[in-house]
């Protein structure tokens, strides 16, 4: 049975320690959400993202639902939280029903201790996007969902962004991303007319810079900030100080950015003992543009890292990092079972 990890305010709800290096061998395998995983790994770093007590527990409250879809396990809704319009009216989206409460929470966290507010898609739409859009007429026809995906998945959530100095791509790096990796907005060219640039990556990057300003004003952070901080801390630690995770299985991989998946790989001792499964047709995480083919580049990076760290040393074949093939399941068993049930009902009649 899975035991939740809710931080210092709900000790009774968990049997897991506050940090990953306090987990004993008997507690494995661990069953963690991404938010729980990040909190526990963060506690193992020399300078944690969230302030800690001496025993590793959190000094300030961090939402137990950090980086989880609101109500994701409660029920499957009939309709999406957002209704998108095909009209050319000024507003292309209907605000989330919790807009006023999100705005109030954002204002409240300005003066709170610690890291403040997690800026997810809902906060972006309710609080930040209206401010950015009001100041720029060229954003009239752009949806906040597409902008958030560019920021969350590519500018801040790509593998290259994770390994950069500041945790995000430069304007030129983002503009020159391959069309297959970031297909939503076109690359801006030198000879483009002014109108051609209205829906280009240069406009998106301008929004990203404004997003960072607004986020800072809210005393806020997003999951990419957390992942980048933890990754940089791990890069600066000695190998023996990094928690030893033997193998990792990630389900619903399509809901993670490249940067998040790279952190899983970084922590797993045997890179060849990682399994990533998912279905890109069932993506529920707002702002994630995922391709299974992108996983290969993460393994390739770890393969090159291993070669650099073991230069001149011949490693046994079993220990060498391999770039895996993506295996596609050809049969949809869920559909097959439904089809079989319908056939049985039909035969009865």
Q: Which pLDDT tens digit goes with each residue over 217-228?
A: 999 999 999 999
Q: Is the pLDDT of residue 209 over 90?
A: yes
Per-residue pLDDT tens digits for 20-79: 989 988 888 899 999 999 999 999 999 999 999 999 999 988 865 566 654 443 443 444
N residues, the chain: 349
Q: So what's the pLDDT on residue 106?
A: 61
Mean pLDDT value of segment 296-304: 93
Q: Are 43 and 31 in contact (CB under 8 A)?
A: no
> Residue 316 burial (CB < 10 Å; 0-12/13-18/19+)?
exposed
Q: So what's the pLDDT on residue 212?
A: 98
CA distances from 249 to 29, 243, 262, 299, 313 (A): 10, 16, 13, 15, 29
Q: So what's the pLDDT on residue 293?
A: 83
Number of neighbouring beta carbons within 10 Å of residue 159: 19
**Interatomic CA distance for residues 72 and 49, integer angstroms:** 25
**Interatomic CA distance for residues 305 and 93, integer angstroms:** 44
Q: So what's the pLDDT on residue 101?
A: 60
Q: Among 32-41, 108-117, 206-215, which stretch is predicted with the lowest mean pLDDT?
A: 108-117
205 band by pLDDT with thresholds 50, 70 and 90: very high
Q: So what's the pLDDT on residue 200?
A: 85
Q: Are 42 and 11 in contact (CB under 8 A)?
A: no
Q: So what's the pLDDT on residue 344?
A: 64
Q: So what's the pLDDT on residue 71?
A: 44
Q: Which residues, 6 or more positions from 323, have their beta carbon under 8 angstroms from its beta carbon? A: 296, 299, 300, 303
Q: Which residues, 6 or more positions from 44, have their beta carbon under 8 angstroms from its beta carbon? A: 19, 20, 21, 241, 242, 243
Indicate the DSSP class of residue 129: H
First to last CA, the chain: 42
The model's pTM: 0.80
Q: So what's the pLDDT on residue 1?
A: 33
Q: So what's the pLDDT on residue 25?
A: 83
Residue in this structure with the two tokens 């983002």, named with its chain if needed: 174
CA triple 345-348-349, angle to 5 deg: 95
Per-residue pLDDT tens digits for 119-174: 999 999 999 999 999 988 788 888 999 999 999 999 999 999 999 999 999 999 99
Q: Are 40 and 267 in contact (CB under 8 A)?
A: no
And the tokens for 56?
């590793």
Per-residue pLDDT tens digits for 73-105: 344 344 444 443 334 444 443 445 555 566 666
Number of neighbouring beta carbons within 10 Å of residue 256: 23
Question: Given phi > 0 = left and psi -120 to 50 = alpha, else beta, which region is 30?
Answer: beta
Q: Find the Cα–Cα–Cα–Cα dihedral 126, 131, 136, 140, rounded to 10°.
A: 20
Q: Among 189-203, 275-289, 292-306, which stretch is predicted with the lowest mean pLDDT?
A: 189-203
Q: Is the pLDDT of residue 8 over 50?
A: no
């Amino acid at each position: 049975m899975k035991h939740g990890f809710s931080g210092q305010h709900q000790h009774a709800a968990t049997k897991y320690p506050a940090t990953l290096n306090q987990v004993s061998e008997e507690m494995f395998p661990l069953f963690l959400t991404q938010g729980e995983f990040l909190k526990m790994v963060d506690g193992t770093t020399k300078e944690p993202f969230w302030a800690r007590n001496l025993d590793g527990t959190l000094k300030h409250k961090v939402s137990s639902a950090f980086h989880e879809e609101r109500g994701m396990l409660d029920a499957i809704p009939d309709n999406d939280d957002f209704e998108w319009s095909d009209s050319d009216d000024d507003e292309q989206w209907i605000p989330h029903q919790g807009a006023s409460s999100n705005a109030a929470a954002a204002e409240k966290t300005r003066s709170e201790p610690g890291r403040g507010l997690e800026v997810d898609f809902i906060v972006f739409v309710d609080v930040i996007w209206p401010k950015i859009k009001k100041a720029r007429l060229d954003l009239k026809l752009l949806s906040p969902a597409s902008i958030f995906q560019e920021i969350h998945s590519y500018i801040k959530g790509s593998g290259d962004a994770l390994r950069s100095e500041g945790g995000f791509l430069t304007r030129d790096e983002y503009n020159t991303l391959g069309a297959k990796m970031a297909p939503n907005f076109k690359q801006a060219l030198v000879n483009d007319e002014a109108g051609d640039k209205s829906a280009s990556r240069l406009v998106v990057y301008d929004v990203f810079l404004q997003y960072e300003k607004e986020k800072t004003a809210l005393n806020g952070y997003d999951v990419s900030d957390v992942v980048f901080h933890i990754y940089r801390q791990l890069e600066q630690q000695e190998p023996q100080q990094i928690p030893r995770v033997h193998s990792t299985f990630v389900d619903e991989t399509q809901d993670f950015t490249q940067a998040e998946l790279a952190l899983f790989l970084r922590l797993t001792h045997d890179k060849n003992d990682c399994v990533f499964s998912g279905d890109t047709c069932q993506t529920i995480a707002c702002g994630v543009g995922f391709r299974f083919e992108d996983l290969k580049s993460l393994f390739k990076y770890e393969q090159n890292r291993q070669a650099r760290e073991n230069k001149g040393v011949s490693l046994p074949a079993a220990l060498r990092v391999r770039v895996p093939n993506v295996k596609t399941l050809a049969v949809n068993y869920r559909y097959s079972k439904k089809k079989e049930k319908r056939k049985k009902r039909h035969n009865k009649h």
